[in-house]
Structures are given as structure tokens and as C-alpha cells.
Structure 1
Amino acid sequence: MNNGQQAIIAVNVGSSSIKFALYPFRGATTGAALLTGTIAGLEPDGQPCVAFSTDDGVNLSETLAPGPGDSFERALAAMRALLARYAAPARLMAVAHRIVHGGERYAESVVLDEAAMAYLRTLEPLAPLHQPHNLEGVELFMRAFPELPQVGCFDTSFHTTMDPLEQRFALPQAMHREGVRRYGFHGLSYRYLAARLAERSGRSGRKVLMAHLGNGASVCAMHCGVSVATSMGFSALDGLMMGSRCGALDPGVLLHLMRQGWDADRIEKLLYRQSGLLGVSGLSADMRTLRASDQPEARTAIDLFTHRLVRECGALTACLGGLDLLAFTGGIGEHDAALRLAACEQLLYLGVRIDTGRNKAADGSQIMAIHADDSSVEIWVVPTDEGRVAAGDAAALLAHMQI
């Protein structure tokens, strides 16, 4: 790292972890990460630990020493100590935050102030697993770095290009005006994929499906480089089956539970935390654990996850009117070759033909094409970098503000 290098730190604060990365600030752009890390184990009674790597080959993992005070505050102090030790020449210019929901107000990233934070708090019920923790992270970093602009970068922004019909529910007009509509999520990841695919494939501007598969999962249909439809909607519950979230569900099930005396909190816990891979398997929300299990329920969970993915890909292909390129990303999408193979075999009717050798070799370490030579649809595995998109937005805002 050069002396005097200006840098932007991108963070993603969850319920029990902080993911962070440091990116060089070059005018209105950023480069590859100088340092990436995760501080996990921040839940009550957890054991906080930090793991990080730098662009010059330093890889460390250590448990944080016990101490008084809030675990997130201690984690932030540990992160600042790491930056001081391994990125000392860098001059921090801004903090870029991944925030799941921007609502109707924010179609682009913004510098956060009290008014913005107040509005974003009203969206917490729409993404209870993420939004409250994202915003608590903003407040944490505001206190730690009061001199730096805090930039909010929203997963919903990428999908503001969807047709009005795609954004509508078949509900009364008054509810639509109040914001009850389809928003879509994983937008930072999809923006990163769109940019990388544009560099590698001449088909990136045609009919594209991008599948972000992880603990949260969705599929996005993209045409001419913009989102035209996506599987998630009003909240981060809709669409695909996920780690502990149910995905698409007949609302009649909710009416049935309510008549049985379930209240909103119990239903929310069921839908967000007790369903998906975890609920079906009764074992784990982690696909790796299920792959290693010989329990039939684990196999059922994997098969259902695959079926729901194939079904959603078919629906979104219909919205596109065909398919030219299919891309996988996210923890499962990048690393689970068996899932990619099973899904692509069921999409053979669309001309999707996977090369088994290339598929096995794709481990998420780099962007890689895995389609067979005679496939009419290109298939790519693209490791995502949401932090770089967030940092890039912060850089553009800083340039505009002439900071």
C-alpha cells in the first residue's frame, strides 16, 4: 500500500458479525480490496473472533480477548487496531454500508443523515433479519468515525428499473400508493455480476438470469444490463427457499395459523428463522452440513431447494422471452458444484448444457465459464463482491462532493 493512499471501508453489519473490506479510492473509482475480513461470534454469549487477509499475502485469524462492554464496540475497536497495523498508510475517506432496504425513497446510494436514518428505520419490518442490524452498524460507525461520511448503499436500488406491472401486487390501489409493492433485493451483488459479465461475455446485454444462492437466495432476470424481474418482492421472504426462510408461501397458510392463535411475532419467527433448509431438514440451514448428512430429511431439503430454483428460473425465463446466459453466485452458487449440475440438468430444455469438468473446477475463487461447447446458453460462476460496489458508490459521491 502506498503512503498517503486514500481508501474507503465497506461494511456489512449483521446480527452477529461484521464483514469489512478496505478499497483504494482513486478519484471517482475504486480498485480491488486491499484488506478483507470478518468479525464473527458477536451474538450474546458468543466468542468473538476475527479473520482477515491483505492483498500482500497476510492471513490471520484470532479470538478476541474477553473484556467489558458491548461485543460490537469491542469488535469495532479490534477492527480499527487491524487497520492501524496493516493499513496504516491509508487515509480513510468514507464508510460505505450495505443496507438491505431503501424503500421507495432511495433509488441510489446516499450520504446518511438523521432524516435518512429515520426513514430507513420505518422499513425494518420489511427485512427484520437485516435492516435493524444494518442501521445499528451505521450508528456504531458514526460514533467511531464521526469525521467520515457514512454512505448507505441499498440492495433494492438495482430493481427500480422493473416495469410497473412487475412491481405491482393484485391489491387495492391505496395499498400500492402506501408502498406495498415488489422491491427486490441482492441488488449490490447483481450489480457486481452485471459489471463482471459485461467484461467477459458478449451476451451480458442480452437475456440473462443471475442466481444469488446462499443463506438468502434470489434470482434476477436482466435484459440490456438492467433488472426486469426478480424472485424477491415486498420483503426478503419471497421467492426461493433459503437457509432458514420459507420463500414463496400461500398466504392462506398465514390465515390458517392466525386462526389457530399464532401472533405476528410467532409467525415472523417461523417464516424467517425456522423454515427453509433448516425447517425442512430439521438439521441445519447450511448446505454443506446437509450434503454431508445421510439423513433422508437432508436430501429432501436439498432436492426442494433445487426444485424451487429450477421453477423460478423457468418463470423468469418466460418474463425474458428466452435465455442467453445463466450466472451463479453467493455461498452456495459459487461453491456447490452438485447444486449447479442438478439445476442445469433440469434446465436442459432451454438449451442449458453444463460441462461437468469445468463445473467441478469452479470453486468460487475466480470468474469461470462452465457451459459445454455445444450449449446454447452460457453458464458462469462469478464470485460476488458487494463491498466493492458499495465502495464504488461512496467514491462517486465523494468525487461529486469534491471531498
Structure 2
Amino acid sequence: MTTAHPVILVVNAGSSSVKISIFSVPEAAHEDVEVLPAQLAHGQIEGIGVAPHIEGRLADGTVVADERFPVELVPDHDAAFRLIQARLQEGLRDTPPVAIGHRVVHGGMDFADAVRIDDNVIARLDALVPLAPLHQPHNLTAIRAVRAAAPDLLQVACFDTAFHAGHDPMAQLMALPYEYYEQGIRRFGFHGLSYAYIARRLKQVAPDLAEGRVIVAHFGNGASLCAMRGGKSVESTMGLTALDGMPMGTRCGTIDPGAVLWLAAQGMTPDAIQAMLYGQSGLKGISGVSSDMRALLASDTPRAKLAVDFYAYRAAQEIGKLAVTLGGLDGLVFTAGIGANSPDVRARVCAHLTDLFGISLDAAANGDNCQRISSDTSRVPVLALQTDEEGMIALSTAKILLNGG
């Protein structure tokens, strides 16, 4: 693949996948620019350590890679990143990347914006691994692999916590002794790259709504909600870690901390408790069927139905809490894999909100995943929007690149 412009790679290393996208570098990138860099190609490896599968497509949909591998060839994220990097380099021989942008889940207290990666940044991010054990190690694996292969290449870290930086202490505090708050034990919020994109997108598709009180529901395998006022984050359902708030695919969401103490008293080790809370709970734990919402909606087992109903019930509760924070609700936006693509889940959540907020959906628009899915009589408009975390990473990386790296 060749392009008239230099290119940026965007790396999104998840708990069981590595995704890499190629973007062209824009001639200029500023805060007020609404158009994101153009994506040229996208590739990913899923099923790392279980059933590795690499696939890649150009922007026009042309398939350039679709291959499965034995587990022993792609046992971990390091091997996965090196494989997909090698495949991309074959296609980028004439247009090597000038920078790489990485999604990094936790930025802690130190990082309120994207930052150029150096040894000091890596050390500070490494210290946050215990607060994001499903993601942070894999984010750092990709960063270190690039530094080993191309130490002079500009790398940029873009944080899921950054969009929520500047929250009022009321949104950050936990009722522990205050010295822990001063040490950084506070509520951060996550999925910020997705929320930042939706805030930008609302300015384009619903500018009046963008200036109001909006709740955005990022529902994917990980799930959270964000209260925005004037396009800025005011509150999030996630806290110190990405374990808090909504029940998720395999994560428990908010639970009584006494339950954790009880598990420890029964002899469970911290590692075993962590594995259960992050990997064996949520939709998977309740249903006993799957962590995949599509599989649960297709299942006729009582526990699968229970898991979906509980998910919708808790989502509606979180929307109510965030509306209190905002002092009302002017709009509701669903996004991410489930939020933007599952009419059934949206309908179940909104059914809980009819009496309180006067929300009603247009069944046909919701079923077709239209941009506006609420009915004409709904007191609160409801939208379903695709998110673009990788586009936001590309934009932040371009800004640092074009400002001298």
C-alpha cells in the first residue's frame, strides 16, 4: 500500500486482541478541527492464546489478510503484536509510519492529555498496572516492542482516563481516610477516548444537544456511562479501576466491598479474587452461558435472560444517578459495540426510563440502528452513534507530531 501522505499507526491492545489501524497524517491538526485523520487500513488479531485469527482490510473493504494460527505461534500479546506489525510492514514498505499512537487505559493523576512516550512515561504507566490489570500490561507490551524495534520512532500515549481529568472532588472522592485521596486513590473514569469522540460528533449531528446535559452509554464488553455538560465530562460510573459501575461482559461492576472481604476470609487469594472479579463475573458469571450479549439474547435459558435483564436494570439505575448529578437530562446517547448495534438492549434500558424521563423509542428507527431512535413524543431525544476511539488516537498523535514531536 502506498499513499501520498506519511502515515500514523494506531495500536489498541485489549485483553484478548491487538488492533492496528493505519491513518494518513493530515496537513494540520488543531483542537477545532472536526475531521479526523483518514483511516487507510485496519488489522487485528483476536483470540490470542486461544484461537488466534488475524484479519485486515483496506478502507474500501478489500480483505488483505484472513488467517488462523496454532496457539503456540501466537501464545501472548508480544507474539501477536510482532506478527501483525510484520504483516503491516510488508504492506507499508514504501510508506513507513512516522509515528505510533497507543491507547493506554490508565493515566492516573499524572496524565490529563496525550503525551510523547519516553522511559519516564513508561515507568509511570508501569506503576499503574495493578489498577488496570486486564489492559495496562498489554498496552505496555506494544509500546516496549516498538521501542525495541525502532527506538527513534515517535510514540504517543492516549489515555482513557484523560477525558475525565478535572472532575470536581465530589466526583473523585471515595469515603476512605482522606490521605488515600491525596495519594491518588480516587475515582478516575474510563472509556474517555470514546466519550471524547462522541462529544465531537454531537457538535456535528446535534449542536444544540451537545451544549446541554447529556448522558453517553458506552456499552461494549467493557461498559460505562458518562455525564457531560457542554461536551465536558462531569461524572463517570467507573472509578479507580475499570471494574466499577455497570456489570460488563466478564467484570462484576459495583459490588459491596464486604463481599470481597468475605471471599478473602474464606481463603481466596488476592490473585484468585482478581481473576474472578475481572474474568468470571458480569454477564458471563450470571448467565453461565457467555460474556457475549449477542449469544445471551439468542439463548432461551433463564439465566441468560436474567443476565440481560439485570444489565438493563443496572444501566437504567446509573442513568438516573447521573441525571441527578447533571440536574436533569437533555439527551441520551448509546455507543460502542452493544450500545450502537443492539436495538434489544437499548429498548430494555429505555423501558425503565419512560415514567421518570418520558423517554420513548421509535421501534422502526431503533430496529434499524438509526442515528435518532427516539419517537417524536419522547421528552428526551435518544441517539445511537458509532464511536471512533482509534480516530481520536490518530488525531492526538498527529497533533504532537505536527507540533514537533
TM-score by length of 2: 0.93
**Residue of structure 2 equivalent to 1:13:** 13
Quote the Cα distance in structure 2 between the aligned partners of 1:68 and 1:293. 34
Q: Which SS does the other structure have where 1:242 is aligned?
A: coil
Whole-angstrom distance in 2 between the partners of 1:81 and 1:2: 16
Superposed, 1:173-184 pairs within 5 Å as 173-184=178-189
| Aligned counterparts, 1:161-176, within 5 A | 161-176=166-181
What is the alpha-carbon distance in structure 2 between the residues aligned to residue 49 and residue 189 of structure 1?
25
137-146 vs 206-215, which moves further: 137-146
| Structure 1 position 93, deviation (Å) | 1.3
Letter in 2 for 1:103: G
Which among 269, 272, 283 is matched to residue 275 of structure 2? 269
Amino acid of the structure 2 residue aligned with 1:368? Q
Select between 299-308 and 343-352 the one with higher mean Cα deviation: 343-352
Q: CA shift at 1:2, angstroms?
A: 6.4
Residues 30-58 of structure 1, C-alpha deviation per residue, up to 9 Å, x if partnerless?
42311112112321xx3432112212331
Q: How does 1:139-288 map to 2 (within 5 A)?
A: 139-201=144-206, 202-288=208-294
Confirm or deny that 1:25 pairs with 2:25: yes
1:55-79, Cα deviation, whole Å (9 max, x unpaired): 2331244225668686645544543
Name the SS of the counterpart of 2:403 in structure 1. helix
Structure 1 counterpart of 2:102: 97
Distance 1:240 1:74, change over 3 A: closer
Mean Cα displacement is larger for which, 276-285 or 71-80? 71-80
Q: Deviations over 1:175-210 (max 9, x none)?
A: 111110000000001001111111110211100000
Instruction: Tell me if structure 1 keeps the 8 A contact 2:249–2:292.
Output: yes
SS in 1 for 2:240: coil
| Partner residue, 2:307 | 301
Letter in 1 for 2:218: H
Contact 1:160 1:183 in 2 (8 A): yes
TM-aligned CA deviation for residue 308 of structure 1: 0.5
Secondary structure at 1:284 match in 2: coil
Deviation of the 1:351 alpha carbon: 2.3
Distance 2:223 2:101 in 1: 23
Q: Which stretch has the larger CA shift, 261-270 or 298-307?
A: 261-270
Deviations 1:132-167 (A, max 9, x none): 111111111222333311111000000013111111
CA distance change for structure 1 residues 61 and 220 in 2, over 3 Å: closer, same or farther?
Answer: same
Correspondence for 1:48 among 38, 52, 61 = 52
Deviation string, structure 1 residues 288-340 (Cα, Å, up to 9, x no partner)? 11111111000000000010100000000111111111111111111111010
Aligned pairs, number: 396
Q: SS in structure 2 opposite 1:313?
A: helix
- Does the 8 A contact of 2:8 with 2:101 survive in 1? yes
Give secondary structure in 2 for the equivalent of 1:335.
Answer: coil
| Cα distance in structure 1, aligned partners of 2:3 and 2:225 | 42
Quote the Cα distance in structure 1 between the aligned partners of 2:234 and 2:21.
30
Q: How far apart are the structure 2 equivalents of 1:282 and 1:309?
A: 20
Q: C-alpha distance in 2, partners of 1:397/1:153?
A: 11
Deviations, residues 333-364 of structure 1 (Å, cap 9, x unaligned): 111110101111211121222111000101xx
Distance 1:275 1:80, change over 3 A: closer
What secondary structure, in the 3-state scheme, does the structure 1 residue paired with 2:100 have? strand
Structure 1 segments unaligned to the other structure (5+ residues): none
Task: State the 1:400 CA deviation.
Answer: 1.5
Q: Give the 3-state SS of the residue equivalent to 1:161 in structure 2.
A: coil
Does 300-309 or 60-69 show the bigger shift?
60-69
1:356 pairs with 354, 357, 363, which one? 363
Structure 2 residue ranges without an equivalent (≥5) = 30-35
- Tell me the equivalent position of 2:33: none
**Cα deviation code 1:100-125 (max 9, x no counterpart):** 00000000110111111111111111
Using the alignment, how far apart are the partners of 1:145 and 1:199 within structure 2?
A: 38
SS in 2 for 1:370: coil
For the residue of structure 1 that corresponds to 2:109, the secondary structure is: coil
Q: 1:330 aligns with which of 333, 336, 340?
A: 336
Structure 1 residues 69 and 295, CA, compared in 2 at 3 Å: closer, same or farther? Answer: closer
User: Which residue does 1:110 correspond to in 2?
Assistant: 115
Indicate how the Cα distance of structure 1 residues 6 and 233 shifts in structure 2: closer, same or farther if over 3 A, else same. same
